[in-house]
């Protein structure tokens, strides 16, 4: 399923921010430029300046920043040092199920179910693959891996995982925890390694080398995941382009983020942060949330991938669990496996009004 730019209205506020960023970093998109009203509103973009410096900051559980990334005209600068500092301060609590990352622990099982279901749906893995190691043979990149919650889970399913995080404290905690599981240390087909890098730095390997050399070195992946990250980076346009560059031809891109709706503000900022204290205050900045159509447009124009699925995920207060909602095509992996609750009955657009996933496919090599 492709989401054509022709269907995106000129009222979308994310697209001016994307186009402003692409102009600042040499990534201008002709299709985004043709959207009515976009060029006239670039100068009023709230997030980006001509140098890539943010006008306001935010925080993130899986951030993609680096404290030492060079700020040159040839770099893709997506960092936010304030966010990195906040999450570095909590790095020793990543693996505490009842700690500040409790909601991420609860979200991890449906994340894995979504990733497996989408990879199976597009033929990346077979429905008859090993039930224990269905991801065996796949190279997976987890951008903004934090303490390694998702990275470890994917490695236990047989994938060769590289986790990137801009916080050295997060990477250290992830390394320490991974050493505790024999399955991740030669006891199974999967493996996990962590790097204290941003996605942009991975492309340059800390040096300004060209893309062809990095491709020859194998720095492309079958699957690139970046979950609950893009709404926290300072340059979402450059970030999407780098994700696409790190993906092999015919590879799969898996993203998750939050919609910019009144409901998402009420639930994620007012309730989750200030009233119920389910996550630390300051974790979210509603103005940087991204609606599904906006993200789909950026993925297709900047990451050069075709969007194939958008599906919501919601927290069920009755069960205390995260549950996948119905996809836009009417399917729901939680319903088919019997693991869905009442959230699985929701469909678009209500299903995507807060948290949602997006999966996309890169074109095969010519």
The predicted-structure confidence for 271-309, as pLDDT tens digits, reads as follows 878 888 877 787 778 888 999 999 999 999 999 999 999
> For the chain, which ranges sit under pLDDT 50?
1-77, 205-215, 336
The superfamily CATH assigns to domain 5-362 is Vaccinia Virus protein VP39 (3.40.50.150)
DSSP secondary structure letters along 229-246 = -GGGSS-HHHHHHHHHHT
CA distance linking residue 133 with residue 284, whole number of Å: 35
Q: Which residues are registered as beta bridge partners of 141?
A: 162, 224
Give which of 328, 348, 286, 319 is closest to 110, Cα–Cα.
319
| Predicted local confidence at residue 22, as pLDDT | 41
The predicted-structure confidence for 176-196, as pLDDT tens digits, reads as follows 999 999 999 999 999 999 988
Phi, psi of 356 (to 5 degrees): -155, 160
Residues in the annotated binding site for S-adenosyl-L-methionine: 111, 144, 165, 227
Residues in the annotated binding site for Mg(2+): 228, 231-232
3-state secondary structure of 43: helix
| Range list of β-strands (E), the chain | 139-143, 160-164, 191-195, 221-227, 247-258, 305-316, 321-327, 355-362
Is residue 236 within 8 Å of residue 290, measured between CB atoms?
A: yes
| Predicted local confidence at residue 70, as pLDDT | 35
**C-alpha torsion sign, points 149, 150, 154, 159:** negative
| Predicted local confidence at residue 128, as pLDDT | 77
Instruction: Give domain limits for the chain.
Output: 5-362
Residues in the annotated binding site: 111, 144, 165, 227-228, 231-232
| Predicted local confidence at residue 286, as pLDDT | 87
Length of the chain: 366
Peptide bond into 40 cis (omega under 30): no
């Amino acid at each position: 399923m492709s989401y054509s730019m022709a269907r995106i209205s000129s009222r979308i506020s994310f697209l001016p921010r994307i186009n402003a960023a692409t102009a600042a970093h040499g990534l201008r998109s002709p299709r985004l430029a043709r959207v009515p009203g976009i060029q006239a509103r670039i100068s009023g973009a709230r997030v980006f300046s001509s140098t890539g410096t943010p006008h306001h900051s935010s925080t993130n559980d899986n951030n993609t920043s680096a404290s030492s990334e060079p700020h040159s005209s040839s770099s893709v600068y997506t960092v936010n040092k304030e966010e990195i500092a906040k999450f570095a301060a909590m790095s020793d609590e990543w693996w505490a199920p009842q700690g500040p990352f409790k909601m991420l622990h609860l979200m991890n099982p449906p994340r894995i179910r979504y990733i497996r279901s989408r990879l199976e749906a597009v033929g990346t893995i077979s429905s008859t693959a090993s039930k224990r190691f269905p991801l065996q043979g796949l190279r997976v990149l987890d951008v903004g891996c934090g303490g390694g919650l998702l990275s470890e889970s994917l490695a236990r399913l047989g994938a060769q995982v590289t986790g990137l995080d801009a916080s050295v404290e997060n990477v250290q905690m992830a390394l320490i925890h991974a050493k505790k599981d024999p399955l991740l240390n030669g006891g199974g087909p999967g493996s996990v390694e962590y790097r204290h890098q941003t996605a942009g730095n991975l492309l340059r390997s800390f040096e300004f080398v060209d893309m062809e050399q990095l491709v020859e070195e194998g720095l492309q992946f079958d699957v690139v995941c970046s979950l609950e990250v893009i709404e926290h980076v300072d340059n979402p346009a450059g970030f999407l382009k780098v994700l696409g560059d790190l993906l092999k031809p015919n590879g799969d891109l898996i993203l998750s983020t939050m919609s910019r709706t009144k409901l998402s503000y009420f639930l994620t900022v007012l309730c989750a942060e200030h009233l119920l204290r389910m996550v630390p205050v300051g974790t979210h900045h509603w103005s940087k949330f991204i609606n599904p159509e906006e993200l789909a447009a950026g993925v297709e124009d900047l990451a050069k991938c075709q969007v194939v699925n958008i599906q919501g995920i919601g927290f069920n207060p009755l069960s205390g669990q995260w549950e996948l909602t119905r996809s836009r095509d009417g399917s729901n992996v939680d319903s088919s496996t019997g693991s869905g609750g009442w959230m699985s009955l929701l469909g678009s657009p209500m299903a995507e009004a807060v948290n949602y996933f997006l999966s996309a496919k890169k074109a095969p090599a010519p």
